[in-house]
């Protein structure tokens, strides 16, 4: 029987506990598992840095929702991103989206050289620029769509063709879109990365990350080895919370996306707003492409306030329903002046506010922004 996304998200990795019949999954806290006298494996698990039963349930579910063959869960999104790069052969070159999450760029520019690799930051919405940046030692294109924080849309299928034509793999950070709205592996990507801290966890109370691979192979084996030896593995309680979030992801993302579209439309018409970055708006440069590769446009948006940095910061200070905090994907709407959050290396415009649109009533969010914008 063919199962649809919502059904998969509820049931994947959700078999009742074989020992007790418990329907809600148990949290296995044991760090070690009985083995034979010469370390022979007699159970599925051996030591927690390698795997544990709660994490294994989560990995089964993550692989299923992204239509991948293998998933690896991590302690954070950045542990997942770093592992994807550390698992490449020595001397590899990586192309990274110039508007990707800023600390993914830090891994590429600051840490990859320490590990014997190189990187180029490229506008991945410009396919010619990506093709020109490819080198014979390029092993990975690391892209994000929509991007953080400018909400740029990259053509995943075309980037997969460029990567594969040059013998490289494509990884897509699918944190903003979630598998509910965008399926990178079905568009040709080789791996999907998530900060599960965000929409998948969904409640702002768990830190986690994931890599989901289209199929097994040497890159996956090496990523597993890196995770096991360097230890960026997901803890049992964190795995349990992410899994719990995943069960309601489809309903939540529908509401996040509907609210964000309503807020983006309201902002677009406001005299004190210079630009709104949201791929769901017909005026957005990524709209046509987003309509092709996403089923809706997600809960994230950013906008530029007229009047310079001080005016933008003033808007943040006047908001009452939005919470002023970094991160995204939780039940409550969050907003921040992104450039000050990213720090001195930020290339984000000074008037840009990034908002994670939550599950409140959309009219309350629109009213709050209207009173803050004046």
Ligand X SMILES: Cc1ncc(COP(=O)(O)O)c(C=O)c1O
Residues forming contacts to ligand X in the complex (CB under 6 A) are: 76-78, 101, 104, 144, 148, 173, 175-176, 195, 197, 207, 209, 327
Q: What is the CA radius of gyration of the chain?
A: 21
- When the beta carbons of 78 and 187 are compared against ligand X, the nearer one is 78
Q: Alpha-carbon torsion 63, 256, 143, 237, what sign?
A: negative
Shortest reach from residue 235's CB to ligand X, in Å:
13
Shortest reach from residue 209's CB to ligand X, in Å:
5
- When the beta carbons of 52 and 76 are compared against ligand X, the nearer one is 76
Residue 205: Cβ-neighbour burial (10 angstroms; 0-12, 13-18, 19+): exposed
Shortest reach from residue 147's CB to ligand X, in Å:
8
Residue 114 to residues 297, 346, 365: CA-CA distances in angstroms? 37, 22, 45
- When the beta carbons of 204 and 209 are compared against ligand X, the nearer one is 209
Shortest reach from residue 193's CB to ligand X, in Å:
7
Task: Report the residue number whose CB is nearest to ligand X.
Answer: 77
Tokens of 185: 């592996």
Tell me how long the chain is.
374
- Of 366, 271, 295, whose CA–CA distance to 280 is shortest? 295
The sheet with strand 70-74 has its strands ordered as 70-74, 209-213, 191-195, 169-173, 138-144, 93-97, 118-122
- Of 194, 182, 191, 147, whose CA–CA distance to 292 is shortest? 182
| Catalytic residue list | 49, 101, 173, 198
- When the beta carbons of 53 and 204 are compared against ligand X, the nearer one is 204
């Amino acid at each position: 029987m063919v199962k649809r996304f919502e059904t998969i998200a509820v049931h994947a990795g959700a078999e009742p506990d074989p020992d007790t019949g418990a329907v809600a999954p148990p949290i296995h806290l044991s760090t070690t598992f009985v083995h034979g006298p010469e370390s022979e494996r007699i159970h599925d698990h051996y030591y927690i840095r390698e795997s544990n039963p709660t994490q294994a349930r989560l990995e089964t579910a993550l692989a299923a929702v992204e239509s991948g063959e293998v998933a690896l869960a991590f302690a954070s999104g950045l542990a997942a991103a770093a592992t994807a790069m550390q698992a490449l052969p020595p001397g590899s070159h990586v192309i990274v989206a110039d508007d990707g999450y800023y600390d993914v760029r830090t891994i590429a520019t600051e840490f990859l050289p320490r590990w014997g690799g190189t990187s180029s930051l490229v506008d991945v919405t410009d396919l010619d620029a990506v093709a020109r940046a490819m080198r014979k030692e390029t092993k990975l294109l690391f892209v994000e769509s929509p991007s953080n924080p400018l909400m740029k849309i990259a053509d995943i299928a075309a980037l997969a063709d460029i990567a594969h034509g040059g013998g490289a793999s494509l990884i897509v950070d699918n944190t903003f879109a979630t598998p509910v709205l965008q399926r990178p592996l079905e568009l040709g990507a080789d791996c999907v990365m998530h900060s599960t801290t965000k929409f998948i966890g969904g409640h702002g109370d768990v830190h986690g990350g994931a890599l989901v691979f289209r199929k097994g192979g040497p890159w996956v084996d090496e990523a597993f080895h890196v995770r096991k030896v360097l230890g960026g593995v997901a803890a049992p309680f964190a795995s349990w919370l992410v899994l719990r979030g995943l069960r309601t992801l489809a309903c939540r993302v529908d509401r996040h996306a509907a609210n964000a579209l309503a807020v983006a439309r309201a902002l677009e018409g406001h005299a004190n707003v210079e630009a709104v970055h949201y791929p769901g708006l017909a005026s957005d440069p990524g709209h046509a492409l987003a309509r092709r590769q996403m089923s809706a446009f997600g809960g994230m948006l950013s906008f530029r306030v007229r009047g310079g940095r001080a005016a933008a910061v003033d808007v943040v200070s006047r908001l009452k329903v939005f919470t002023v905090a970094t991160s995204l994907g939780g039940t409550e709407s969050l907003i921040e002046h992104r450039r000050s959050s990213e720090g001195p290396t930020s290339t984000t415009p000074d008037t840009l506010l990034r908002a994670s649109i939550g599950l409140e009533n959309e009219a309350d969010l629109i009213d709050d922004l209207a009173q803050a914008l004046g």
